[in-house]
Each structure stands twice: as structure tokens, then as C-alpha cells.
Amino acid sequence: MDADRAAWEQRSVVRVVPPVEPRKLAKVPFVELADGRLQGVVSSGSDIERVYVSSITAGTHALSCSTNNNRPCGALHGYACKHIRMLADEAVLQYGMDRVARYLRVEVAEHGDLINSLNRLVERTPAAVVFSRFLRHLAYLEVPESTEPLAELHWFPAMGAVR
Amino acid sequence: MLDVQLGELGSGSPAGVDEALELVAGFDDALVHGFARIGEEPAAALSALAGALAASPLGDRIGESVEKVVAGSIGDEHLAALAGGRAALTGAVHDALLGSLDAALGRTRAAWEAAPGTGDHPDNLLAGCRVWLRELAIVGWRGVDHDVVSSSDQAIEALLAVPELRGLAVLLDGLAAELRASCPVSTMEHVPARRWADLWSRALLLSQSGPWNGGAEQVSGRLLILGADVHEHATVVRVQVHGVFEPAGGAPARLVRTSVAAAKVDTIVGPAVWRLMGGHPVLLGALAEHRTLEITDMPLLGGGDLVWHDDRARAGEEADPFATARVQLGAAVAAPVPPLDRHPVRIAEPVFIEGYTVDGETLELGGGNMLALDLDRLPSSTPLTPELVAASTACLGLLHWDGGRWTLQPIAVQATVKKKPVAVHTGDWAMGPTDPKVVKAEAKAGDAVAVLRERAGRLLRK
């Protein structure tokens, strides 16, 4: 076991970030585990110009949801609004239940539901931080292609599914 | 590649490789704990590194830098000297490995000719990177938390806007994503010490005065594709094509690489990634249709990288990569590796192998010599699967070295499926998947790129 560990630590190419699973992006275009939160952006069902910024904080499990203009989500009081539910469902699709639960430090019973496993503290975190991370995420699609040799990428071979 | 060649490559490492990597491991361990309060063991490891390089041109600077760092004075120039010392060691390991591989294959490699520097780069951006890398060195991987990772955001965003600094941008972005996913690193069971120290060292060297691609010659001729390798992390995908280049006018054929990288986000995965490189239809079309490429006045860098310009190429007749490999691969002249790119991880030598049996993850040639297959490196964006490799009778692959052994990454196979011969290449889906089942699954999942572009159109620039 120790030999395996030493071998892994002394390899240049190892998988550190587990691969994410493909999912439909139409309703929840952005989900991430970052800054100590599960956070993301949920498209409004009624207004194509509006999005909701939702998050669940790791450890405290505080819930937050507001529009990108910082207007609090009217449906969030005492229990999770549908935006937070959608965010959690899509996060589980993207990262798998284990990884999300571990990140949020929440105990989920086998076949249990993530949201029902949280206590329901509401604590609004500023939407601007998450929204600007989403805009930064979208901005990648505007970065032009490159045909430079980029030898750095030899550390990042594309890997298939975990077998 | 023949059984006797594989036998010659042997199972052990060339002389000195293990000793050099032990020094590297000592440095890597020091970086795990950070240079802020350096313990006895890491201090001894850094001194050993300095000792080993004492007679080299870097000797004095590394010796002095180790003294300063151990004494708690961690300046940019000291860290740069340490990264340079580590790169000298990994470079020597690379040279020993590639030399033994070339000898075993009987491959001729052109000599490196010093090339002029690439020019000036905005130093404020590079300085921003150095600040972050210095912070990482001080806290060590074990000290990395969310705040340390987030502090790289601005520097990376700025780098992405500068085409010449793209390599540094994708490197730091990949490292930051791995650190973010591992936060807080103090609770991580094992730290990928070699890997992160590799990335840190290369980033530090790149952030001194930018990349070192050097000068280019303009070349014309015919490119025969051998196959494609795919590189990817959350925010980039790159296809690197290996091929044999026949210069116009009859000079000897050369082994070259050419590549296209596109920025992406983590939710764009699988065959959809090819669409991001759609700005290069001639190259992608030739990959998918197995055609030659006629090239006019394209820059070829000293390290054998053809800097692809889609408008300076046109597709020619059909050409089977296996035929190219059988006829041309043996005699083609390999390119030298730019000095600062010399690291074992860059070794990706195309070889053609047949007459073997596959047992699980090992390929056995007739005379009893074995070669490990790297089946993790079969990307989900391609039709090449472990099952096809297991059923194969001939294989085009890239030889890599990592963790003390050689492995073969298949990039194309000839196999028998349902009693029919088939040939499958990693680039077969370059113009979109050809398997109806995959096409259907893709259609069902929806077009991630289109959804995100729509969102970007509405929400960006407001």
C-alpha cells in the first residue's frame, strides 16, 4: 500500500479532479463547488432575461437565493425554494452525490435526498460574487482558439471514464 | 516497434535516472510543507539538490538560493533558481529516456539549434503570476485553502486575454482547478507532490519572461497524418496531431506535431468538444476523412511543432495512417526538443506495433517482451475503446514514460469486430460522431455549447 502511495505521489500525470458527468444545461447553466459553497445560476422559468443565484454553504448548510440584481427570492423562507432544489439536483448529476455531500459536509442516507438532509437556515450571501464567477465561466467561450505548441498540456491528457 | 526493440528498451531506467528523480522527490516534498518554516529534512533535500548541481552553470545561484530559502528569505530570484535547478534534473532524465528510446527504435533525431527569443511580454501580468506562485511556495500545498486559490483568479483571467501567454494561462488554470477541488489540502490524504511541483516549476519558469518557442522556418510540402492525441482539463481542450511531413523539394521526411486548442467549460464534455475547434475545418476534416494535407508557407518551430494555419492548407487524397506508419515512420527524422521543454512528460513518441497479444492492460510481443497499455488515456471524445484495443491486431500509439515505466497510449487500432476487420482512430469524430447511437445520445442531451452561448449573449456585457 505504501509503495502504491509513493508511486502515485511520484507520477507527473494522475487524475486529481474527478470527471464531471454531462447534463442538460438549459435550466441550470452553472453549478460549482467553490469558495466553500455549492453555488450556481438557475434560469428563471418565466423571464428569459432573469436568472437566480442560489447557494448552499458547506458546514453550516445555510441557503441563499436571489436574482442577479440582488432581489431576494420570494419563495425562500424556512424551506428550500425550487431554484435551490434544482441547483442541488443538477449538482448531484454533475458531480455525483458522494462528492457533493462530502463537500457540503452533510450526511445523506443511502438513496436519500440532499435537500431533505439539510437543516433549513436561510442566510443570504451576496449574489454578485457567484454571478461574476458565472460571467467569468461564460467568458471562456469567447477566448479564441490557439495553435501554439502549448507543451504544458502534456500534463493534462484527456482521460476517459473512470473504469 | 519490434519485439527486439522493446527488449532493448528494457524494464530498468537508464543510469542516473533514479538518483536524479530522488533529488526531485526531495524538492517536491519540501514544497508539500512549504518554505515558510522549513524543517530539517526538507532543508537537507534542498541542499542535496544544490550539491548535485554544484558543478553546473547554475551551481552558484542554486547554492545561494537554497541558503537564503532555508534561512527564511524567499525572494523571486531564489525561487526561480530552484525551479531552474529542478528543471535541469527533469531535463536530464528526459534526455536519458529519450536517448534510450531513440537508440532502441533506431530513430534519428535532429540536433537542437539555439533559436532567438520570442520577444517581449507584458511584465505586469507575469509579475502577478510570480506573486501567486511565491505564495504557494511559502504556504506549501498543505497550506492551500480557498483564499489562496481564489487569489489566482485575476492573474489567470488577464493571461487568457494574451494569445502568446496562453500556455501559462492553461497551466495555472489547470493547477488552480485541482487545488480548488482539493481544498483544504491539509485534509487531503495524499498530495500529488510530483505533479504539482512539476506544474509549479514550469509556471515559474514561464512567468520569468514568457514562452521560449523561438524562431520558425516557413515550410511547404505534404503532411501525412499518423493520429491524434487529445489533451483536456475543465477549461481547455486540445487536439495534437502527429504526422510525417514531406518537405517540398525532396528533403528527408520529418516527424512533426501540430495542434489546435480551444477554451471550454467543465460541462462541455465528450464528442461535443470537437465543435469548439470548428474554426479549423481543413485540419479536422483531414483527420476525420484520413486525408493528406498540402501545406504552403506554414511556420515550423525548432521543436517540430507546425503552427497550424487552416488557410494555408488544403486536403489532398485519402491516406491510411497505418500505411503511413508502415512505410514512412521508421525513416522519418524526429525533431529535437527545446531545452526548457525537456521533461519526461513531454515524451509522446509515435510507434507502430503489430503481431502482439493483449492481456488485460498489457501488450505482449512474440518474444516475451511486455509493454503496459495506458487505457486511461482513451478520451471519451473518441470512438477508441479498451474493448477495441483488446480485440486489436495492429496499433498506432504514443510511447510515454511516467512513474518509472514506459507505457503505450493507443491512438489507432486495426481490430476484428464480429469477424470483420475495422480500423478506428482517435480523430474519427473530429467532424462529429459517426456512431448513430452516440449521435442520438448527443441530441437528447442537448447542445451545451449553444445553451451557454445563448446565456452569454444575454448576460455578458450588461
A163, closest residue in chain B (CA to CA): B376
Q: Are the Cβ atoms of A150 and B303 closer than 8 angstroms?
A: no
Q: CA–CA distance from B440 to each of B179, B181, B445, B447, B448 (Å)?
A: 36, 32, 9, 12, 15
pLDDT surpasses 80 at A2 = no
Q: What is the predicted pLDDT for the residue at B85?
A: 97
Q: What is the predicted pLDDT for the residue at A163?
A: 52
Kindly indicate whether the ipTM for this predicted assembly is greater than 0.95, answering yes or no. Answer: yes
Q: What is the predicted pLDDT for the residue at A162?
A: 57
Size of interface A-B (CB pairs under 8 A): 231
Q: What is the predicted pLDDT for the residue at B49?
A: 96
Q: Are the Cβ atoms of B459 and A139 closer than 8 angstroms?
A: no
Q: Are the Cβ atoms of A16 and B182 closer than 8 angstroms?
A: yes
Please, what are the domains in chain B?
18-209 (no CATH), 216-329 (2.40.50)
Q: What is the predicted pLDDT for the residue at A155?
A: 98
Hey, which residues 262-291 in chain B have their CB within 8 Å of chain A? 262-267, 269-270, 276-277, 279-280
**Residue B370 half-sphere exposure toward CB, CA atoms < 13 A:** 11
Q: What is the predicted pLDDT for the residue at B278?
A: 93
3-state secondary structure B266-313: CCCCHHHHHHHHCCCHHHHHHHHHCEEEEEEEEEEECCCEECCCHHHE
Instruction: State the Cα–Cα distance between residues A119 and A140, nearest whole angstrom.
Output: 36
Q: What is the predicted pLDDT for the residue at B446?
A: 80
Write out residues in chain B with pLDDT < 50, as ranges.
none
Smallest CA–CA distance, residue B143 to chain A, in Å, is 16
Instruction: State the Cα–Cα distance between residues A49 and A46, nearest whole angstrom.
Output: 9
| Mean pLDDT value of segment A40-45 | 92
* Amino acid, single-letter form, for residue B61: R
Hey, which residues 201-230 in chain B have their CB within 8 Å of chain A? 202, 206, 211, 213, 229-230
Those residues whose C-beta lies under 8 Å from the C-beta of residue B204, and which sit 6 or more positions away, are: B79, B80, B83, B130, B133
Torsion sign (Cα): B448, B450, B452, B454: negative
Task: Supply the Cα-derived Rg of chain B in whole angstroms.
Answer: 23
Smallest CA–CA distance, residue B70 to chain A, in Å, is 24
Contact B341, B94 (CB under 8 A): no
pLDDT tens figures, A93-146: 999 999 999 999 988 888 888 888 777 788 887 788 899 999 999 999 999 999
Q: What is the predicted pLDDT for the residue at A161?
A: 63
The partner residue sitting opposite A152, judged by closest CB among B182, B202, B263, is B202
* Amino acid, single-letter form, for residue B173: D
pLDDT tens figures, B274-310: 999 999 999 999 999 999 999 999 999 999 999 999 9
Between these two residues, A156 and B270, which has the higher pLDDT value?
A: A156
A20: which chain B residues are within 8 Å (Cβ-Cβ)?
Answer: 234, 266-267, 269
Give the mutation candidate from B459, B461, B462 for the A interface (greatest A CB count, under 10 A): B459
pLDDT tens figures, A13-23: 999 998 888 89
Q: Are the Cβ atoms of B231 and A156 closer than 8 angstroms?
A: yes
Hey, which residues 310-339 in chain B have their CB within 8 Å of chain A? 338
Q: What is the predicted pLDDT for the residue at B118?
A: 60
Instruction: State the Cα–Cα distance between residues B276 and A145, nearest whole angstrom.
Output: 8
Residue boundaries of the structural domains of chain A: 2-139
Q: Which residue has the cell 481544498?
A: B183
pLDDT surpasses 70 at A1 = no
A3 close to B (CB below 8 A): no
Residue B462, burial from CB neighbour count under 10 angstroms (0-12, 13-18, 19+)? exposed
B131 close to A (CB below 8 A): no
Hey, which residues 382-421 in chain B have their CB within 8 Å of chain A? 386, 400, 402-404, 409
B13 close to A (CB below 8 A): no
